[in-house]
Chain A
Amino acid sequence: MQRIGVFVCHCGTNIAGTVDVKAVAEALKNEQGVVFSTEYQYMCSEAGQSIIKNAIKEHKLTGVVVCSCSPRMHEATFRKTASSAGLNPYMVEIANIREQCSWIHKDMEKATEKAIILGRAAIAKVHLNAPLTAGESPVVKRALVIGGGIAGIQTALDIADAGFEVDIVEKKPTIGGKMTQLDKTFPTLDCAACILTPKMVDCAQNEKIKIYSYSEVESVSGFVGNFSVKIRKKARYVDETKCTGCGLCTEKCPMKKVPNEFNLGMNNRSAIYIPFAQAVPKIATIDPDHCNMLKNGKCGVCAKICTAGAINYKQEDEIVEEKYGAIIAATGYNPINLDKYDEFAYSQSKDVITSLEFERLTNAAGPTSGKLLRPSDGVHPHTIVFVQCVGSRCGAEDSKGGKSYCSKICCMYTAKHAMLTREKYPDTDVYVFYIDVRTPGKNFDEFYRRAAEEYGVHYIKGMVGKVMPQADGKLLVQGSDLIAGEQLKINADLVVLAAAIEPDKSARPLATMLTASMDTNDFFTEAHPKLRPVESPTAGIFLSGACQGPKDIPETVSQASAAAAKAIGLLCKDKLTCNPCVAHSDEMMCNGCSQCEKVCPYGAISYEDKEFRMPNRTTAIRRVAKVNPAVCQGCGACTVTCPSGAMDLNGFSNRQIMAEVDAICR
Chain B
Amino acid sequence: MQINNEFKPKIVAFCCNWCSYAGADLAGTNRLNYPADVKIIRVPCSCRVNPMFILRAFQRGADGVIICGCHPGDCHYTSGNYYARRRITLLFSMLDYLGIERERTRLEWVSAAEGAKFSATMNEFAETIIKLGENKRLEDLRCKAE
- Do A70 and B25 have beta carbons less than 8 Å apart? yes
- Do A117 and B48 have beta carbons less than 8 Å apart? no
- Which residue from A100, A110, A517, A640 sits with its C-beta under 8 Å from B112? A517
Q: Does A245 contact B (CB under 8 A)?
A: no
Q: Using Cβ atoms and an 8 Å threshold, which residues of chain B touch A640?
A: 47-51, 83, 87
Q: Using Cβ atoms and an 8 Å threshold, which residues of chain A touch B32?
A: 104
- Which residue from B48, B80, B145 sits with its C-beta under 8 Å from A666? B145
- Do A113 and B36 have beta carbons less than 8 Å apart? yes
A515/B77 contact (C-beta < 8 A), A107-B36, A654-B52, A664-B39 known? yes
Q: Does B128 contact A (CB under 8 A)?
A: no
- Do B10 and A664 have beta carbons less than 8 Å apart? yes
CB distance from A168 to the nearest CB of B (A): 26
- Which residue from B25, B42, B70, B145 sits with its C-beta under 8 Å from A662? B145
How many angstroms from the CA of A112 to the CA of B40 in the assembled complex? 15
Q: Using Cβ atoms and an 8 Å threshold, which residues of chain B touch A520?
A: 111, 113-114
- Do B57 and A635 have beta carbons less than 8 Å apart? no
How many angstroms from the CA of A666 to the CA of B60 in the assembled complex? 7
Q: Does A96 contact B (CB under 8 A)?
A: yes
Nearest residue, chain B, Cβ from A665 = B60
Interface of chain B residues 30 through 87 with chain A (CB within 8 A): 31-34, 36, 39-45, 47-53, 56-57, 60-62, 70, 73-80, 83, 87
A106/B145 contact (C-beta < 8 A), A512-B73, A515-B76 known? no
A100/B40 contact (C-beta < 8 A), A640-B47, A654-B52 known? yes
CB distance from B45 to the nearest CB of A (A): 4
Interface of chain A residues 101 through 158 with chain B (CB within 8 A): 101, 103-107, 110-111, 113-114, 117-118, 121
Q: Does B119 contact A (CB under 8 A)?
A: yes
Q: Using Cβ atoms and an 8 Å threshold, which residues of chain B touch A33?
A: none
Q: Does A661 contact B (CB under 8 A)?
A: yes
- Do B50 and A639 have beta carbons less than 8 Å apart? yes
| Interface size range of chain B in the complex | 35 or more
- Do A652 and B77 have beta carbons less than 8 Å apart? no
Q: Does A633 contact B (CB under 8 A)?
A: yes
How many angstroms from the CA of A515 to the CA of B18 in the assembled complex? 11
Q: Does B27 contact A (CB under 8 A)?
A: yes
Q: Does A629 contact B (CB under 8 A)?
A: no
CB distance from B31 to the nearest CB of A (A): 6
Nearest residue, chain A, Cβ from B17 = A72
Q: Does B21 contact A (CB under 8 A)?
A: yes
Interface of chain A residues 610 through 666 with chain B (CB within 8 A): 633-637, 639-641, 649, 652, 654, 657-658, 660-662, 664-666
Nearest residue, chain A, Cβ from B34 = A104
Q: Using Cβ atoms and an 8 Å threshold, which residues of chain B touch A96?
A: 25, 40, 42
Q: Using Cβ atoms and an 8 Å threshold, which residues of chain A touch B18?
A: 517, 537
Nearest residue, chain B, Cβ from A538 = B76
- Do A661 and B80 have beta carbons less than 8 Å apart? no
How many angstroms from the CA of A96 to the CA of B31 in the assembled complex? 15
Q: Using Cβ atoms and an 8 Å threshold, which residues of chain A touch B73?
A: 512
- Which residue from A110, A636, A661 sits with its C-beta under 8 Å from B56? A661
How many angstroms from the CA of A103 to the CA of B60 in the assembled complex? 28
- Do A652 and B78 have beta carbons less than 8 Å apart? no
- Do B44 and A601 have beta carbons less than 8 Å apart? no
Q: Does B22 contact A (CB under 8 A)?
A: yes
Q: Using Cβ atoms and an 8 Å threshold, which residues of chain A touch B48?
A: 635-637, 639-640, 649, 652, 657
How many angstroms from the CA of A429 to the CA of B62 in the assembled complex? 70
Q: Using Cβ atoms and an 8 Å threshold, which residues of chain B touch A394?
A: none
CB distance from A566 to the nearest CB of B (A): 19
Q: Using Cβ atoms and an 8 Å threshold, which residues of chain B touch A537?
A: 18, 22, 76, 112
Q: Using Cβ atoms and an 8 Å threshold, which residues of chain A touch B70?
A: 517
Nearest residue, chain A, Cβ from B39 = A664
Q: Does B126 contact A (CB under 8 A)?
A: no
Q: Does A518 contact B (CB under 8 A)?
A: yes
Q: Does A599 contact B (CB under 8 A)?
A: yes
- Do A641 and B83 have beta carbons less than 8 Å apart? yes
Tell me which of B25, B75, B112 has the highest count of chain A C-beta atoms within 10 A of its own C-beta: B25
Q: Using Cβ atoms and an 8 Å threshold, which residues of chain A touch B78?
A: 512, 515, 601
How many angstroms from the CA of A517 to the CA of B61 in the assembled complex? 35
- Do A99 and B80 have beta carbons less than 8 Å apart? no
How many angstroms from the CA of A636 to the CA of B69 in the assembled complex? 13
- Do A525 and B45 have beta carbons less than 8 Å apart? no
Q: Does A581 contact B (CB under 8 A)?
A: yes
Q: Does B133 contact A (CB under 8 A)?
A: no
How many angstroms from the CA of A72 to the CA of B20 in the assembled complex? 12
Nearest residue, chain B, Cβ from A520 = B113
- Do A665 and B79 have beta carbons less than 8 Å apart? no
- Which residue from A104, A110, A111 sits with its C-beta under 8 Å from B27? A104
Q: Using Cβ atoms and an 8 Å threshold, which residues of chain A touch B50?
A: 639-640, 654, 657
Nearest residue, chain B, Cβ from A528 = B22
CB distance from B60 to the nearest CB of A (A): 4
- Which residue from A113, A525, A665 sits with its C-beta under 8 Å from B61? A665
- Do A599 and B83 have beta carbons less than 8 Å apart? yes
A637/B77 contact (C-beta < 8 A), A104-B28, A658-B56, A661-B12 known? yes
Nearest residue, chain A, Cβ from B57 = A661
- Do B44 and A581 have beta carbons less than 8 Å apart? yes
Interface of chain A residues 257 through 277 with chain B (CB within 8 A): none
How many angstroms from the CA of A636 to the CA of B62 in the assembled complex? 24
Give A residues with C-beta under 8 Å from B.
Answer: 70-72, 96, 98-101, 103-107, 110-111, 113-114, 117-118, 121, 512, 515, 517-520, 525, 537-538, 581, 599, 601-602, 633-637, 639-641, 649, 652, 654, 657-658, 660-662, 664-666
11 sample A-B contacts, Cβ–Cβ < 8 Å, listed by A number:
A72-B25, A99-B24, A519-B111, A520-B113, A635-B76, A636-B47, A657-B53, A661-B53, A662-B56, A662-B145, A665-B61
Known: A635-B77, A636-B80, A665-B62. 18 other contacts (CB 8 A): A71-B42, A100-B25, A101-B28, A101-B36, A106-B33, A517-B74, A517-B111, A519-B112, A520-B111, A525-B113, A581-B44, A649-B44, A658-B56, A661-B53, A664-B10, A664-B39, A664-B57, A666-B60
* The 3 residue pairs across chains A and B that have the minimum distance between CB atoms: A99-B28, A636-B48, A635-B77
